[in-house]
Amino acid sequence: MNCSVIGATGYTGIELIKILVKHPNVQISQLTTRQSESISVRTLIPSLSKDIDLKIETYDFNKVKNTSDIIFVCLPHTEAMHCVKEFHDAGKIIIDLSADYRLKKASLYPVWYKTKHAYPKLLKKAIYGLTEINRDLIKKADLIANPGCYPTGAALGLIPLLKNGLVYQDDIVIDSKSGVSGAGKKLTTATQFAELDENFYAYKVNQHQHSPEITQMLETVSGEKVSLTFVPHLLPINRGILSVMYLKMRPGVTEKQIENAFKQCYEKEPFIRVKPQEQFPELRHVQYTNFCDIGFVADKKTGRVIVITAIDNLMKGASGQAIQNMNVRCGFAEEEGLI
Amino acid sequence: MNCSVIGATGYTGIELIKILVKHPNVQISQLTTRQSESISVRTLIPSLSKDIDLKIETYDFNKVKNTSDIIFVCLPHTEAMHCVKEFHDAGKIIIDLSADYRLKKASLYPVWYKTKHAYPKLLKKAIYGLTEINRDLIKKADLIANPGCYPTGAALGLIPLLKNGLVYQDDIVIDSKSGVSGAGKKLTTATQFAELDENFYAYKVNQHQHSPEITQMLETVSGEKVSLTFVPHLLPINRGILSVMYLKMRPGVTEKQIENAFKQCYEKEPFIRVKPQEQFPELRHVQYTNFCDIGFVADKKTGRVIVITAIDNLMKGASGQAIQNMNVRCGFAEEEGLI
Amino acid sequence: MNCSVIGATGYTGIELIKILVKHPNVQISQLTTRQSESISVRTLIPSLSKDIDLKIETYDFNKVKNTSDIIFVCLPHTEAMHCVKEFHDAGKIIIDLSADYRLKKASLYPVWYKTKHAYPKLLKKAIYGLTEINRDLIKKADLIANPGCYPTGAALGLIPLLKNGLVYQDDIVIDSKSGVSGAGKKLTTATQFAELDENFYAYKVNQHQHSPEITQMLETVSGEKVSLTFVPHLLPINRGILSVMYLKMRPGVTEKQIENAFKQCYEKEPFIRVKPQEQFPELRHVQYTNFCDIGFVADKKTGRVIVITAIDNLMKGASGQAIQNMNVRCGFAEEEGLI
Amino acid sequence: MNCSVIGATGYTGIELIKILVKHPNVQISQLTTRQSESISVRTLIPSLSKDIDLKIETYDFNKVKNTSDIIFVCLPHTEAMHCVKEFHDAGKIIIDLSADYRLKKASLYPVWYKTKHAYPKLLKKAIYGLTEINRDLIKKADLIANPGCYPTGAALGLIPLLKNGLVYQDDIVIDSKSGVSGAGKKLTTATQFAELDENFYAYKVNQHQHSPEITQMLETVSGEKVSLTFVPHLLPINRGILSVMYLKMRPGVTEKQIENAFKQCYEKEPFIRVKPQEQFPELRHVQYTNFCDIGFVADKKTGRVIVITAIDNLMKGASGQAIQNMNVRCGFAEEEGLI
């Protein structure tokens, strides 16, 4: 299979390249940038081997079209939209790492991304690429909308409980803390070292654009209207998202049932590891991996379940999951290139 | 006034010394350690001025008793108990930074601190030193139980809402994140640089010994049984605690009422700063200060209020508040030595 | 005395404000910015007290002139030049934190700062503000060129040895490591958190613009042509510069002589602390202080002396030394506002 | 080939395991610890795949002997000595990551490691495992003394210049800065997060036990008595060593000759990357890799060459090089498991 990466110089593009150069089943055909000068991959990713001899070149639609079977789109939100449409019309398999095809309701885009969606019909066709949940649909998908980093961590921790009706779907708190690479490469004051070092704070409190994405996934799974509170924070570290979810158990639900729900959902999943009782995830355990670690505790006294998940925002939260989706779509071993 | 610090070599002791050497109304009489060799303060705190000429000496009860009016006790939990009793019997004013006199019910000590309380009568007399709440009692107190770091940050954010009956007291989530100095100076694997750097995780989930302390304060204020979920996390930074509280509004409560509750409680407080709408605390803004910053947002859709507080765990969360309490007790200006 | 800060929103401006608001001998008259909107100081520096009520306003020459006795200029290099000239002509005392009046030879500016110096005559009049060395000149100076951060740390470690002819002046290596706040507030990729975190490297190897400034100071002191190699590095921390100097002893020089040279020079200095044998400076000991800590060791076997200095780049390396210079110039106690 | 790791729970042991589990040519037979309870590898290294099912077990000489062809010894200095001797006598191939067989002169051990060497004869037989220099000897070695982290970074930068007589061998300064994992897992105050975070300092100035190891390697290569000054520093990061070497060129030597010396030595080396002119190594580029990056600049004015090298202390500075040596010794592709 020949694959290309559009927008290869950002953090998710870099992470994809690192995986693709070692992946035994694929060839890299094109790596592109919107900039006018080409860049050597060894300059962009100096940790790579001496004999890697790839270039990132100025984007050329036809060149990509003529050489690629699979296309990873790593463009900013609202820019990816058009590029995805063009390659879809050209009959390619697309894995879109932007948010542009994640929300089913076109009407949400003006609200959360300040842009009208140009291709609502295509939106309907896109498959949401949370691998563990949509694996069968992904196998046949031509357009995979790769999930956001926060939604991946949150949804994987919530789905087993909502699917089995163990907790109330209208009383959910998600308190997430992310490393700074999630903010991308754009220069901002907030992401300058001198501003973030030794600092910590919540941002976009109750207003983060990933809220509707989480809600949509949870409503699909639970079949009911979901109401949630989502507060993201910025950690003074590079990689990783820890999400703590506070939920209310439905009457009569036991800790055992909760344990079983996680076990049943994830026992055979290669990238999900449910922690034993009294153990909880740490970012160190998942950084630079495609794992999602999950811990939980049920508290009879308050009737609350606390679920904690940890992922690497650039791996399971972006490029790792994109590769996992490619593996599923192409019939490769699901862990290929990822372990 | 002559003051002494017992257990002066730990992080809270060091912070006290830094403030006391510049405080215009007090003299340091004794700084003590359980170790057998005396240590120069300049060696322990190299950032101090060249002409500081103080020594930390092996603890000698009589020496402290004969030279001190006020005694700060910075010993570990369960060790402080006896020392406090002795100085109380000797008629001294004591500010105890340990947890040993914070909980009113002696029966809680075996549960949360694995030790029976030896002086339940004295426990009853101790005044809980959350300055803003108990100022009038502190003015006449002989034994001030200085609050824990997590309880300070959490209680200051919750009290205005509970006191005014604006939120349910039996549906409270406290999600706190602390810098590592809160763990003290004891050598542990978890606090080694190589283990914590770039890491982040929750610990003692629902089992932290500060839970009953928070509950007690909130029950006193609300006059009702409080039920809460408390999850602390360890941040890879040195100082500061950010606490996010998730609360449910009682029917009919408006954001304006919530704003007014905070304003009314804290407008005249020198160390509490309530943020304007849409602004939230950052640890950077309170580190190395005695401030508690508070932000909040009420969400009509979910009926939830989110309250966020930030403090420096060694200042408002420990030694800064201890000095504030001394100022109140001794009739000094409340900000003396702290601004 | 009334003092103003021009360019008050950068890191050195902020540090000056923090000190000036607590300084008992001065009043702040104007804080200015080149931006068109005024900013509240409490917004810029949230760690300040609740009752600070200062504004940073758009720069207005006449307003500053009419209200100020002393003017701190914190503008970028090559921009400060003109502003300094105007206030000098208006008869004000100026402390310039830029590099624009540090080098005596106007011909060096085009080489190292890519700009011709517009006022070579004024350049001659400026006094280089390394307080410990030029104290007597500073007492009467109208234009004080406040030293750079690297030159301060390096020169203070080298001067005692060069002045006393104990080491060769033509065989000097200076290996310095700086925290990132030294790079200022300008947005750059290199200073983004995700790029610097866990990273470390040398930059401008042998080409840093502070080289001629160090050379000039050392030639003044030694009376001979100085030859040096200067390699700065960027540390993934906020504040502090550690400089290690490798020197060759002249024949017959003993460790005792070296010790005496440091002692004699610095014994009475309030801000210089020479470490005892076998002890060496740490950045922690000088951060947020105006101290310069110095350690050294002489190695008979190789004939080398190693001198290590530590300063806070924003304090002794910039704003702290500027205040120290103001204190000297105005006849205040030299430590006022700084301890 | 069957390989075992003795002392598998330390940082170098962990790093070895991470590589060995993916290495296609070897089987892990025994992982041992001095502790009395066995530990699951998945607990020790949670980033590993779900289906790894290895245990670290209490050390048992016979068990290791009977199942292993190659033995990696990761014991502390002075403890490794005896274990190495026993396995050598049992006819095994040993790669010793301790310092116990690195120095050729037994008399240096009491001076630098406070212990008499028990097996001076075996010391003579050991091959110093700096792969690029001793590759031919390593191919036939039965006991490989894997180099220290500082010596690896320093020697690789110095050897091309000394071997070709381009610089003076008696005027060498090595200024090295290391991440904290180099200090190992032992609990110390200096390596606690709260002590090292935001800190930086030099330690063991001119007294580090790696000095004689560097000297020995350089004397072997240059054939002359070497005199050097070595100052290590501790960085507040986890991994990586940046070494800056200050050297004096012999008369008439040109930058071109220096460039050629590096090129000639390293052009074909898979793990050494010489930077183009004006570019210098960064720790980020080598972390988690087995690369050694080298940059240099020759300064005609001062006659000095500055050489900068960067390695990951746990990879090329320890476990990565150990695997590289195993690959060479066993005739595997040299990059196997490392790229």
Provide the 10 A C-beta neighbour count for residue C40. Answer: 12
**B43 to chain D, closest Cα gap in Å:** 14
Please say which residue of D125, D159, D190 terminates a domain: D125
Partners of C94 in beta bridges:
C71, C143
**D133 to chain B, closest Cα gap in Å:** 31
Q: Which long-range contacts (CB under 8 A, 24 or more apart) does A119-127 make?
A: A119/A81, A119/A85, A122/A84, A122/A85, A122/A88, A126/A96, A126/A101, A126/A102
8 Å CB contact of C236 and A198: no
> Which chains pack against A, by 3+ Cβ pairs within 8 A?
B, C, D
Which among A198, A231, A284 is the nearest to B199, CB-wise? A284
Cβ–Cβ < 8 Å for A174, A245: yes
Identify the closest residue of chain C to A10 by CA–CA distance. C194
8 Å CB contact of B187 and D185: no
Place of tokens 């507040």: D236
* Cα D45 from Cα A284, distance rounded (Å): 10
pLDDT of residue D311: 98
The active-site residue, picked from C83, C149, C265, C292, is C149
| Domain-embedded: residue D133 | no
pLDDT of residue A316: 98
Q: What are phi and psi of B134, to 5 degrees?
A: -110, 25
Collect all residues of chain D within an 8 Å Cβ-Cβ radius of residue B238: 193-194, 197-198
pLDDT interval class at B258 (50, 70, 90): very high
Q: Give the residue numbers in A contacting C (CB under 8 Å), as ranges.
A: 11, 180-181, 183, 185, 187-189, 191-198, 236-238
D252 phi-psi bin (left φ>0, alpha ψ -120 to 50, beta other): left
| Span C270-281, pLDDT tens digits | 999 999 989 999
Which among D201, D206, D308 is the nearest to C242, CB-wise? D201
**Can you tell me the mean pLDDT for C281-293?**
97
**A42 to chain D, closest Cα gap in Å:** 10
pLDDT of residue D51: 85
Complex ipTM, two decimals? 0.96
Whether B44 and B173 share a structural domain? no
Domain, as residue range, for D75? 2-125
CA–centroid distance for D253 within its chain? 31
Whether B163 and B294 share a structural domain? yes
Paired sense of beta strands B172-178 and C127-128, if any: unpaired
| Span C133-142, pLDDT tens digits | 999 999 999 9
Whether D176 and D85 share a structural domain? no
8 Å CB contact of C281 and D235: no
| pLDDT at position C27 over 90 | yes
Q: What are phi and psi of D74, to 5 degrees?
A: -115, 35
8 Å CB contact of A206 and B308: no
| Span B167-215, pLDDT tens digits | 999 999 999 999 999 999 999 999 999 999 999 999 999 999 999 999 9
Whether C49 and C172 share a structural domain? no
Task: Report the CATH number that the domain containing residue A92 is assigned in CATH.
Answer: 3.40.50.720
Provide the 10 A C-beta neighbour count for residue A86. Answer: 15
| Beta-carbon pairs below 8 A across chains A and C | 55
CA separation (Å) from A173 to A7, B244, D281?
Answer: 34, 11, 45
- Give the DSSP letter string of A211-251: HHHHHHHHHHHHSS---EEEEEEE-SSSS-EEEEEEEEBPT
| Domain-embedded: residue A92 | yes
Two tokens, residue C62:
């006449």
8 Å CB contact of D306 and C203: no
* Cα D276 from Cα D262, distance rounded (Å): 11
pLDDT interval class at B50 (50, 70, 90): confident
A72: which residues sit within 8 A by CB, 6+ positions away?
Answer: A3, A4, A5, A6, A13, A16, A94, A95, A97, A322, A326
Task: Report the CATH number that the domain containing residue A186 is assigned in CATH.
Answer: 3.30.360.10
**C312 to chain D, closest Cα gap in Å:** 11
Whether D111 and D230 share a structural domain? no
* Cα D278 from Cα D275, distance rounded (Å): 8
CA–centroid distance for D183 within its chain? 13
8 Å CB contact of A47 and D198: no
- CA A180, A182, A184, A189 torsion-angle sign: negative
CA–centroid distance for C41 within its chain? 24
pLDDT of residue D208: 95
8 Å CB contact of B188 and D187: yes
* Cα D101 from Cα D128, distance rounded (Å): 8
pLDDT interval class at B158 (50, 70, 90): very high
Identify the closest residue of chain D to B181 by CA–CA distance. D194
| Domain-embedded: residue C156 | yes
Burial of D276 (0-12, 13-18, 19+ CB in 10 A): exposed
Paired sense of beta strands D55-58 and D70-73, if any: unpaired
**Can you tell me the mean pLDDT for C44-71?**
94
Collect all residues of chain B within an 8 Å Cβ-Cβ radius of residue D193: 180, 191-193, 195-197, 236, 238
* Cα D205 from Cα C297, distance rounded (Å): 8
| Span A187-201, pLDDT tens digits | 999 999 999 999 999
Best probe of the B interface among D9, D193, D287, D314, by most B CBs < 10 A, is: D193
Whether A163 and A280 share a structural domain? yes
Collect all residues of chain A within an 8 Å Cβ-Cβ radius of residue C180: 193-194, 197
| pLDDT at position C51 over 90 | no
Total tally of structural domains belonging to chain C: 2
8 Å CB contact of B192 and D197: no
Whether A160 and A308 share a structural domain? yes
| Span B303-319, pLDDT tens digits | 999 999 999 999 999 99
Whether C176 and C101 share a structural domain? no
Q: Give the residue numbers in A contacting B (CB under 8 Å), as ranges.
A: 173, 175, 177, 195, 198-203, 205-206, 227-229, 231, 233, 235-240, 242, 244, 246, 280-284, 287, 295, 297, 299, 301-302, 304, 306, 308, 310
pLDDT of residue A49: 83
Collect all residues of chain A within an 8 Å Cβ-Cβ radius of residue C191: 192-194
B258: which residues sit within 8 A by CB, 6+ positions away?
Answer: B161, B166, B249, B296, B298, B305
Identify the closest residue of chain B to D235 by CA–CA distance. B193
Q: What are phi and psi of B110, to 5 degrees?
A: -60, -35
3 state SS of D79: coil
| Domain-embedded: residue B251 | yes
Q: What percent of chain B has pLDDT over 70?
A: 100
Which among C47, C49, C285 is the nearest to B47, CB-wise? C285
Best probe of the D interface among C171, C200, C229, by most D CBs < 10 A, is: C200
Burial of B252 (0-12, 13-18, 19+ CB in 10 A): exposed
| Domain-embedded: residue B141 | no
8 Å CB contact of C47 and B273: no
Q: What are phi and psi of A310, to 5 degrees?
A: -135, 130
pLDDT of residue A153: 98
Q: Closest by alpha carbon to A149, among A69, A232, A206?
A: A232
| Domain-embedded: residue A106 | yes
Q: What is the largest CA-CA distance in chain B?
A: 63
What are the counts of helices (DSSP H) followed by strands (DSSP E) for chain C?
12, 15
Whether A305 and A253 share a structural domain? yes
Cβ–Cβ < 8 Å for C102, C128: yes
Whether A87 and A195 share a structural domain? no
pLDDT interval class at A96 (50, 70, 90): very high
Whether B116 and B167 share a structural domain? no
| Span A118-141, pLDDT tens digits | 999 999 999 999 999 999 999 999
8 Å CB contact of D50 and A270: yes
C255-266 and C149-163 are packed helices; what angle lies between their axes, rounded to 10 degrees? Answer: 120
Instruction: Specify the length of chain A in residues.
Output: 339
Two tokens, residue C215:
């050379």
Whether D160 and D295 share a structural domain? yes
pLDDT interval class at C155 (50, 70, 90): very high
Q: What percent of chain D has pLDDT over 70?
A: 100
Q: Which residues of chain D have pLDDT under 50?
A: none
Cβ–Cβ < 8 Å for D191, B192: yes
**B103 to chain D, closest Cα gap in Å:** 29
Two tokens, residue C162:
């060069």
| Domain-embedded: residue C42 | yes
Q: What is the largest CA-CA distance in chain C?
A: 63
| Domain-embedded: residue A321 | no
D212 phi-psi bin (left φ>0, alpha ψ -120 to 50, beta other): alpha
> Which chains pack against B, by 3+ Cβ pairs within 8 A?
A, C, D
Q: Looking at the annotation, which residues of A are catalytic?
A: 149
Provide the 10 A C-beta neighbour count for residue B110. Answer: 11
Sheet with D127-128: strands ordered across = D39-40, D55-58, D27-33, D2-6, D70-73, D93-96, D143-145, D127-128
Place of tokens 């590095």: C233
